[in-house]
Chain A
Amino acid sequence: MIEVRDVVKEYAGTRVLGPVDLTLPAGGVTALVGPNGAGKSTLLGIVGRLLPATRGSVSIDGHDVASTPSSALAKVVAILRQENHFVTRLTVRQLVSFGRFPHSRGRLTAADHEVVDRALGFLDLTDLQERFLDSLSGGQRQRAYVAMVLAQDTDYLLLDEPLNNLDMRHAVAIMTQLRRAADELGKTVVVVVHDVNFASAYADHVVAMRDGLVVQSGPPLELMTEERLGEVFDTPVQVRRDGPYPVAVYYR
């Protein structure tokens, strides 16, 4: 369970987030949605202890994020930011192996290699494992990053817009694999997505944010109404309910 208590983030006196009080259940896929600048990435960054909160506290499975040593927390939660730019030239396998660092401190055992193999297999990267990251397409690279956080083998996975710049096929593939990680491996996945329809199709729980505040938290069906979506995104939306899950139509 992730508990966010009274969290506020300010930059030079300007409040960009909060106060946020939020409880995310353990297990399943939780989607963070909202317009640009709503504070989704900031909130995720604070939960993943990449950003310090100005006020308030976050605990993951009872570990207080601000006071638990980073190395201990790295076995509980893994976070993937939106932009990943590495100066070192790495192969896919080398990158994914870094996911084992919290457990092995750099000396990989046979068990670690096995976990890496499984993470690679899970994301269909086995054939690409010796390729350099800079020789991959955006979708393949994104999968490699996800494989790295999977190899970290934490109960909680936080991903900031993993679908960014991906085409349909790859976006669906990533979401399917995150869904599988939750269902088959028992992970708690928290993911920031831009497109509410992905949240509607894949998430168990949706948190909608606007202007730095949480405006709704609950199952996707509650959010997927024309009224609620219109409020959150400030744009006219039609919701079609003739498929397996509601779909927001907002393109024109």
Chain B
Amino acid sequence: MADSLVRRRRPARGGPDADADAAPRRTRPGLRIAVVGVVALVAVLAVLTYDIGPEVGSRGFWLVVEFRVVSVVTLVLVGICQAVATVVFQTATSNRILTPSIMGFEAMYVLMQTALVFFLGAEAMAATDGVLKVFVQSALMVGLATLLYSWLFAGRRGDLHTTLLVGVVLGLGFASLSTFMQRLLTPGEFDVLAARLFGNLSNSDEDYLPYAWVVVAVALALLWRRRHRLDVLGLGRDSATSLGLSHKREVLVALVLTAVLISVSTTLVGPLTFLGFVVAILSYQLAGSAEHRFVLPFASLLGIAMLAVGYFVLHHVFYAGGLLSVVLELGGGLFFLIYLLRRGTL
């Protein structure tokens, strides 16, 4: 991507051996954000306007654009949610491996959907559709996730390995329970359910979008106000406490906001396990600064850009629109494995 343009190393001042170690004095995080921003904008505009049958500017043209706007708005929202949630989650938990999704968050969503069909039938799924259901769903997810994460991370036993194990086992447990219930569904009910569970940008509910924007905007505003505190939080419990942060409270707030963002994203398009991870890791490498006031916008724009480019390529190059989440999961999963193997440790 165009990021490589700004990755050139500046000539180091002071000695030939200072070369590799000296941080470039000006890594220009602002410029880097602008570059990703342009890429994201171009990709989004391409998704919006490429290959429209009717002439540009005609009534037909605008109709198609209007039709595509829902997908694009969803895409932007999901990109921001996944990116910001993952970065904040990793800062709050002082780790660079775990993401909310790997911790079984989205398995919880699948379980909820399955349970709904299992206990109340496919008609219930359709009958209860609406903004209220979305809210109840999100509230449940946020509540459960907050309980789980605060117990795991803020508690005394907060070590990474235990947490990872518990998270993965819970995720597996949720998934098995879902599979079990799915086995007992009639084929018709299963069909209705499966359509919901595939991550798909056209899954999103138009009526819900404005509310989603409000919720996400509030969460983002709260996080932005805390951007300096997040920097300190990233130093870990002891240093953050010594610097006067109430560590437990800040972690809890960060995790609740993470849960809110992920629940919005999941409710909109279903589970996306690795997108956040890939975006976060690339952002740390490319943003040019570890400060959240740079990393958060950079990651958001990168998330949008990746989703938009992926969407565009799949729609207009491979003609396989529904497969975006599958490709993201495959690519993201591979990236995750390679990163883990290259690092060699947790």
Chain A residues packing against B (C-beta within 8 Å): 48-50, 69-75, 78-81, 84-91, 94, 98-99, 101-102, 105-107, 127, 130-132, 135, 149, 152
Contact = CB atoms under 8 A, between A and B. Distances in A.
Nearest to A108: B228
Contacts of B21: 131-132, 135
B242 A86 contact: no
Contact of A131 (B22, B229, B238): B22
B90 A152 contact: no
A152 B239 contact: no
B285 to A, nearest CB: 9
B234 A87 contact: yes
Contacts of A101: 228, 232, 243-245
Nearest to B244: A74
A80 to B, nearest CB: 7
A99 B91 CA distance: 19
B284 A102 contact: no
B228 A106 contact: yes
Nearest to A105: B228
Given A86-B234, A87-B90, A99 B25 contact: no
Of listed B14, B21, B90, B284, residue having the most chain A CB within 10 A: B21
A91 B95 CA distance: 19
Given A89-B284, A106-B228, A131-B22, A70 B245 contact: yes
B290 A89 contact: yes
B236 A86 contact: yes
Nearest to B295: A88
B239 A84 contact: yes
B234 A78 contact: no
A89 B243 CA distance: 18
B243 A152 contact: yes
Interface residues of B, number: 31
Nearest to A83: B238
Contacts of B95: 87
B245 A98 contact: no
Contacts of A84: 236, 238-239
Interface in B88-141: 90-91, 94-96
Given A50-B241, A70-B241, 14 more contacts: A69-B246, A70-B244, A71-B245, A84-B238, A84-B239, A86-B239, A88-B284, A98-B243, A99-B243, A102-B244, A105-B229, A106-B231, A130-B22, A131-B23
Contacts of A94: 290-291
A92 B227 CA distance: 20
Contacts of B228: 101, 105-107
B40 to A, nearest CB: 24
A74 B231 CA distance: 16
Nearest to B21: A135
B235 interface: yes
B290 A74 contact: no
A2 B24 CA distance: 43
Contacts of A80: 242
Given A50-B241, A132-B21, A85 B236 contact: yes
A87 B232 CA distance: 11
A50 B237 CA distance: 8
Contacts of A106: 227-229, 231-232
B94 A149 contact: no
Contacts of A81: 238-239
Given A86-B235, A86-B236, A87-B234, A49 B241 contact: yes
A72 B95 CA distance: 28
B151 to A, nearest CB: 18
B242 A50 contact: yes
Contacts of A69: 246
A141 B291 CA distance: 20
B295 to A, nearest CB: 9
B88 to A, nearest CB: 13
A215 to B, nearest CB: 27
A72 B243 CA distance: 10
5 shortest interchain CB distances as A-B pairs: A106-B228, A74-B244, A135-B21, A71-B244, A88-B290
B229 A79 contact: no
A78 B238 CA distance: 11
Nearest to B247: A70
Nearest to B293: A106
12 contacts: A50-B237, A70-B244, A71-B245, A74-B242, A78-B242, A87-B94, A87-B95, A88-B284, A98-B231, A101-B244, A102-B243, A152-B242
A197 to B, nearest CB: 28
A90 B290 contact: yes
A225 B94 CA distance: 46
Contacts of A72: 244
B150 to A, nearest CB: 17
A48 B242 contact: yes
A85 B160 CA distance: 14
Contacts of B23: 91, 130-132
A79 B227 CA distance: 23
Contacts of A152: 242-243
